[in-house]
């Protein structure tokens, strides 16, 4: 598998692809992007290439069918059966492979299927609503469905014809900006997320029943930071690659730990997935327009589906429903209190969120019960002696400090936003240090796969 953080990807695939992409005539760039993306995907799971290609052809045909019907002036009621059939087909394919991976073998889950099928569903929905013209060419749609910066883990970019119709000329400014995003994301993944992952792995090796309460809390905070910098890092790398190719920057994280509530947190976390559920599930269900009872129902449905999207094991369903119930509480019983003071919001974001990531991380329910009994040992009174906490806190305090520092919006913006004069010189030096440090660790240690590859 070729991953963004591998030397083969950076110094072979990407260099060769960019050279070909900008060397061919502009009218062929989408075809090059499509074919290059198939090569990239094939190095990961060549056996599922026919599935990806088949879904690409079928969804292009379906999209043309819907958009051409819209152009002919057919009413939405006439086109609705077409859209329902298309939606049901894509959803059935996703559910089938999710089920096979859960019931038969995890190897039955095609790489990135949740992400590229969500892009296909949004394409069909936008075609049904008249947002996509019938003149879309095959390679424009195919490049959108399969583009290698997004095919495995998103972000779930929306289709805009001008992004694929306008010629992408070689731009040193775009290459530089894209490379900067890529380097920042690589540093988050290699220097922070992968190092914090060692802590969670060591806690699992020790056994949840043998850790102290203080180490259990250190573990959930460590995993929370690991997941955040792993996925935010990936998202920045993917967005940077898109910028190098001439596409707009796709923002997938907007400083979620600066939020005042969990509902705001999830508007800022995995932004493209959240907006997808809002536009294609929550609003079609009625959103918040049909009274309190139906709003609560719609929120819980969205979060149930969100949990199932992440995985079929019960812990993901519990995770999704816990988040859904908390958002309902924020929207109604706690609303006035949270408007008066920020304390409930801080508690939810900085204490409850890490606890929910614990539910997310531990798939075995018996292990989950043990872990939470260590977090809250009130029944047994066994808090442990804390020596293990001191040991690992001394080992990982610098990573925690760096992670917490990067949670602050002004600090992280310093790395991803251009400055002027001396500040820009310092920023470039820091990015160079991050790049060289990441390359050193890539060459001397084994890198963990991105966490969202499994979804």
d(CA 334, CA 73): 47
Q: Are 148 and 16 contacting, i.e. CB atoms less than 8 angstroms apart?
A: no
Claim to verify: residue 178 and residue 58 sit in the same structural domain: no
With vertex at residue 242, the alpha carbon angle to CA 175 and CA 192, rounded to the nearest 5 degrees, is: 85
Claim to verify: residue 85 and residue 104 sit in the same structural domain: yes
Query: Is residue 178 in some structural domain?
Result: yes
Query: Is residue 5 in some structural domain?
Result: no
Q: Provide the 3-class DSSP secondary structure of residue 376.
A: coil
Q: Where are the alpha helices (DSSP H) in 161-212?
A: 161-165, 172-187, 194-206
| pLDDT given at position 18 | 96
Picking from 129, 152, 167, the residue at the C-terminal end of a domain is 167
Alpha-carbon distance values, 340 to 110, 239, 256, 350 (Å):
47, 38, 21, 19
d(CA 24, CA 391): 57
d(CA 18, CA 130): 34
| pLDDT given at position 452 | 66
| pLDDT given at position 76 | 67
d(CA 54, CA 73): 29
| pLDDT given at position 386 | 86
Picking from 125, 141, 167, the residue at the C-terminal end of a domain is 167
> What's the pTM?
0.93
Picking from 115, 134, 167, the residue at the C-terminal end of a domain is 167
d(CA 188, CA 231): 9
Q: Residue 64 catalytic?
A: no
d(CA 384, CA 1): 42
pLDDT by residue for the chain (455 residues), tens only, comes to 678 999 999 999 999 999 999 999 999 999 999 999 999 999 989 999 999 999 999 999 998 888 877 666 666 666 788 888 889 999 999 999 999 998 899 889 999 999 999 999 999 999 888 888 888 999 999 999 999 999 999 899 999 999 998 878 888 889 999 999 999 999 999 999 999 999 999 999 999 999 999 999 999 999 999 999 999 999 999 999 999 999 999 999 999 999 999 999 999 999 999 999 999 999 999 998 888 999 999 999 999 999 999 988 899 999 999 999 999 999 999 999 999 999 999 999 999 999 999 999 999 999 999 999 999 998 777 788 889 999 999 999 999 999 999 999 998 888 887 777 788 888 899 999 999 999 999 988 876 767 666 66
Alpha-carbon distance values, 251 to 77, 181, 238, 239, 445 (Å):
35, 11, 10, 7, 30
d(CA 142, CA 34): 6
Joined together, the tokens standing for residue 441 give 């660790």
Query: Is residue 56 in some structural domain?
Result: yes
* Domain total in the chain: 2
| pLDDT given at position 92 | 96
261: containing domain: 174-446
Claim to verify: residue 123 and residue 203 sit in the same structural domain: no
| pLDDT given at position 70 | 65
Joined together, the tokens standing for residue 260 give 């005042």
Looking at 64, 174, 270, 310, which residue is catalytic? 310
Query: Is residue 162 in some structural domain?
Result: yes
Claim to verify: residue 188 and residue 272 sit in the same structural domain: yes
Claim to verify: residue 381 and residue 298 sit in the same structural domain: yes
Claim to verify: residue 340 and residue 424 sit in the same structural domain: yes
Claim to verify: residue 198 and residue 147 sit in the same structural domain: no
Claim to verify: residue 126 and residue 189 sit in the same structural domain: no
**Which residues in 414-425 are b (16+ Cβ under 10 Å) and which e?**
ebbeeeeeeeee
Claim to verify: residue 350 and residue 388 sit in the same structural domain: yes
Query: Is residue 252 in some structural domain?
Result: yes
Query: Is residue 212 in some structural domain?
Result: yes
Query: Is residue 3 in some structural domain?
Result: no
Query: Is residue 364 in some structural domain?
Result: yes
Instruction: End-to-end CA distance of the chain: give it in Å, rounded.
Output: 16
Claim to verify: residue 118 and residue 103 sit in the same structural domain: yes
Claim to verify: residue 191 and residue 240 sit in the same structural domain: yes
Claim to verify: residue 184 and residue 266 sit in the same structural domain: yes
């Amino acid at each position: 598998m070729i991953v963004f953080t591998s030397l083969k990807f950076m110094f072979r695939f990407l260099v060769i692809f960019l050279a070909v992409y900008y060397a061919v005539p502009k009218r062929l760039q989408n075809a090059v992007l499509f074919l290059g993306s198939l090569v990239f995907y094939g190095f990961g799971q060549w056996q599922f290439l026919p599935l990806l290609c088949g879904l690409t052809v079928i969804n292009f045909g379906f999209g043309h069918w819907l958009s051409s019907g819209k152009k002919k002036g057919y009413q939405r009621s006439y086109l609705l059966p077409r859209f329902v059939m298309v939606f049901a087909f894509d959803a059935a394919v996703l559910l089938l492979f999710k089920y096979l991976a859960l019931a038969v073998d995890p190897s039955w889950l095609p790489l990135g299927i949740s992400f590229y099928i969500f892009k296909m569903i949004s394409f069909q929905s936008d075609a049904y609503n008249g947002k996509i013209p019938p003149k879309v060419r095959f390679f424009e749609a195919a490049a959108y469905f399969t583009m290698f910066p997004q095919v495995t883990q998103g972000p779930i970019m929306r289709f805009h014809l001008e992004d694929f119709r306008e010629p992408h000329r070689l731009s040193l400014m775009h290459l530089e900006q894209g490379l900067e995003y890529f380097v920042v994301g690589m540093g988050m993944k290699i220097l922070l997320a992968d190092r914090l992952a060692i802590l969670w792995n060591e806690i699992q090796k020790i056994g949840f029943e043998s850790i102290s309460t203080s180490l259990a809390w250190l573990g959930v905070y460590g995993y929370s930071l690991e997941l955040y910098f792993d996925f935010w890092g990936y998202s920045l790398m993917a967005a940077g690659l898109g910028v190098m190719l001439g596409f707009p920057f796709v923002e997938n994280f907007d400083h979620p730990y600066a939020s005042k509530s969990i509902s705001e947190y999830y508007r800022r976390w995995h932004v493209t997935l959240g907006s997808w559920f809002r536009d294609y599930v929550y609003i079609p269900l009625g959103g918040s327009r049909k009274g309190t009872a139906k709003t609560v129902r719609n929120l819980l449905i969205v979060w149930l589906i969100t949990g199932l999207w992440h995985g079929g094991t019960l812990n993901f369903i519990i995770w999704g429903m816990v988040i859904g119930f908390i958002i309902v509480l924020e929207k109604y019983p706690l609303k006035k209190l949270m408007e008066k003071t920020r304390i409930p919001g801080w508690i939810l974001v900085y204490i409850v969120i890490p606890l929910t990531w614990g539910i997310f991380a531990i798939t075995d329910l018996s292990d989950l019960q043990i872990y939470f009994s260590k977090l809250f040992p009130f029944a047994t009174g066994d808090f442990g002696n804390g020596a293990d906490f001191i040991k690992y806190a001394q080992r990982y305090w610098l990573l925690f400090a760096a992670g917490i520092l990067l949670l602050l919006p002004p600090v992280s913006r310093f790395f991803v936003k251009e400055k002027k004069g001396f500040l820009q010189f310092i920023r470039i030096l820091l990015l160079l240090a991050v790049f060289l440090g990441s390359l050193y660790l890539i060459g001397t240690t084994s890198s963990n796969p991105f966490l969202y590859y499994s979804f």
